[in-house]
Amino acid sequence: MTQAALDQFTQRVTEIYGDAQNNQQIAREILTICQCFADKTSRCVLEVPTATGHKRWSEEDVILITYGNSVQTADEMPLKTLSDFLKERLADVINSVHILPFFPYSSDDGFSVIDYRQVHPDWGTWEDVASIADNFDLMIDLVINHCSRENLWFIDYIGNREPYTDYFIEVDPATDVSLVTRPRNTPLLTPVHTHRGVRHVWATFSEDQIDLNFANPEVLFEFVKIYLFYIEQGARFIRLDAVAFLWKQLGTTCLHLSQTHAAVKLLRDIVNFVAPEVVVITETNVPVKENLSYFGNSDEAHMVYQFGLPPLVLHALNRGNASFLSDWADAIPPLPEGCSYLNFTASHDGIGVRPVEGLLPEREVQDLIDSMHRFGGFVSMKANSDGSESPYEINITLFDACMGTRRGPDHHQVQRFLCSQAIMLAMQGIPAVYIHSLTASPNDLEHVEQTGRTRSINRRIWEEHELEYLLSNPVTPQAEVFTELTRMLRIRRAQPAFSPDARQDVVKINTDLFILKRTSEDNSQRIFAISNVTERILKLPLATLGFLENGLSDLLAHEKRIVEDELVLYPYQTVWLSNT
């Protein structure tokens, strides 16, 4: 066994559990789990962790976010249908796929996991997952904060069977838990009938999602094994779902506690020693400063989600004003070494409101919410410590969120939506595109009625034949968006200036424009990504745009075009002006 790994794990365990006498024993158990993984996969536990640095990613990285059953057809397992769709439609467009939890589950479309090591039997098998991993890099969710109440761990807890009696967190219902930060407005404690009588257990998200007790090292061991199992199945990216809530300590917010950060660092240490090619991503839908804290000192997450991007892009396009988006982008701190952002504008969840706390005035947030209501959306609320509620996220498909401005719907929906995607693709980091952005999916209100959950509005399950018909018919918005967005993605993947490590500068000249300058690492390519966020035609004499160079060509033009004298931008048009 490597002493370096043991020493590092012992340090992290001490940060998690304090100066307990058995810290080295806990660290040895973690090292033993790593050694078993290494032996099984013909790897070795490295004496010195390997840092792959900037070679960990490139401009070719594009991630598709999808459920395992987002596209399905009769008489075929959905994962097989998805695999065929990816290979036939997206082989040269993306190189990575985030398959949202594809395990047996009892609620929340997969995020209430019954069995962490099995594939949902109605969706396929591990062989189907491997088929996708043969052609695309794979992102798998480690749903680490909670499990389903139908999980065997919880059933054994109810039955008072060891060692599971300490896998969950019991709290006296009379305890004051008002300081605990909640992403939901449901009760924090849920009553459970056990063989020892009624017990109240911690449930941050719902009564079906029971939080796990990481104060018990046995729970940590379970998840280290699951973590390495996913890597064994071919995961290049591991997404730590809802990790900010991991550690509980009464009398605190129970959010972003030091023990939580130490646990993320431990998971980073583990891949450094046994799988240095793996990228650890934290999912923390919180205000920007809190979100960025998960980079640590380049020793925590490799990547964090840009949770501020979706609401600020939507606000800019809805308001016709890029000032808040530009100010936020300009204030993004330099990336720590070996770290990057995961950029997205839509996902399986709603458009978060918390990330713009302190960035958008409350009046602007409320106006945006009111506009989304007019476009068929909903808003989910969270509980505050004073007993009040406040908006947590907007539930709407991004395509329908772009159907108009705060003045109401108009005829610019497709172009406005494509503008949102072009802005995201130009941002420093790795872009992640939700499948319902690629397919311009409208609000699925029927799905909301079926499930009773507002998030279902953005979780349509496409029948393959219907989707293929829409994508093959050039007059549909689905075909128009899919054709243009995949074209943009192909163009993006060929530009060194769009490498995640390429420099980003924000240029501010007026509120009508969002402008990024990207510069490749070797300074050979410069791209000015300029987006008109208004419904007006903008005519910009180059003499007034002193930051632009002569002889720039628009990479997004359908025919080669050199910009001279004047730059004309049609409503919601984006240009990528490059010197090469």
Give yes or no: residues 434 and 465 share one domain.
Answer: yes
Give yes or no: residues 331 and 230 share one domain.
Answer: yes
Give yes or no: residues 331 and 468 share one domain.
Answer: yes
Instruction: Decide if pLDDT at 406 tops 60.
Output: yes
Give yes or no: residues 404 and 451 share one domain.
Answer: yes
- 315 annotated to bind ligand: no
pLDDT band at 545 (very low <50, low <70, confident <90, very high): confident
pLDDT band at 139 (very low <50, low <70, confident <90, very high): very high
Instruction: Decide if pLDDT at 495 tops 60.
Output: yes
User: What's 571's domain CATH number?
Assistant: 2.60.40.1180
Q: Residue 87: what are its φ and ψ, rounded to 5°? A: -70, -35
Q: What residues contact 457, with CB distance under 8 A and at least 6 apart? A: 376, 377, 378, 395, 396, 397, 443, 444, 445, 447, 448
Give yes or no: residues 68 and 128 share one domain.
Answer: yes
In terms of Cβ atoms closer than 10 Å to its own Cβ (0-12, 13-18, 19+), residue 451 is: middle
What's the pLDDT score for residue 387?
Answer: 74
pLDDT band at 506 (very low <50, low <70, confident <90, very high): very high
Give yes or no: residues 472 and 508 share one domain.
Answer: no
Instruction: Decide if pLDDT at 390 tops 90.
Output: no
Compute the distance between CA of residue 156 and CA of residue 515 in angstroms, rounded to an integer: 56
Nearest to 341 by CA among 302, 374, 396, 368: 302
- pLDDT mean over 524-552: 91
Write the pLDDT tens digit of every residue in 266-292: 999 999 999 999 999 999 988 888 999
- 128 annotated to bind ligand: no
Tally of domains in the chain: 2
Give yes or no: residues 521 and 566 share one domain.
Answer: yes
Tell me which of 171 and 563 has the higher pLDDT. 171
Give yes or no: residues 360 and 476 share one domain.
Answer: yes
Write the pLDDT tens digit of every residue in 317-341: 999 999 999 999 999 999 999 999 9
Q: Computed over its alpha carbons, how large is the radius of gyration of the chain?
A: 24
- 349 annotated to bind ligand: yes
- 239 annotated to bind ligand: yes
| 203 located within any domain | no
| 195 located within any domain | no
Instruction: Decide if pLDDT at 20 tops 80.
Output: no
| 261 located within any domain | yes
What proportion of the chain, given as a percentage, has pLDDT over 70? 99
- 241 annotated to bind ligand: yes
Instruction: Decide if pLDDT at 191 tops 70.
Output: yes
| 38 located within any domain | no
Choose one of 479, 498, 517: the last residue of a domain. 498
- 554 annotated to bind ligand: no
- pLDDT mean over 7-29: 94
- How much is the mean pLDDT over the chain? 95
**Any idea which residues carry the catalytic annotation?**
241
CA angle 556, 531, 379 (to 5 degrees): 115
Write the pLDDT tens digit of every residue in 340-363: 999 999 999 999 999 999 999 999
Give yes or no: residues 68 and 139 share one domain.
Answer: yes
- 54 annotated to bind ligand: no
- 363 annotated to bind ligand: no
| 13 located within any domain | no
Give yes or no: residues 475 and 549 share one domain.
Answer: no
Q: 543: domain range? A: 503-578
| 105 located within any domain | yes
Give yes or no: residues 391 and 540 share one domain.
Answer: no
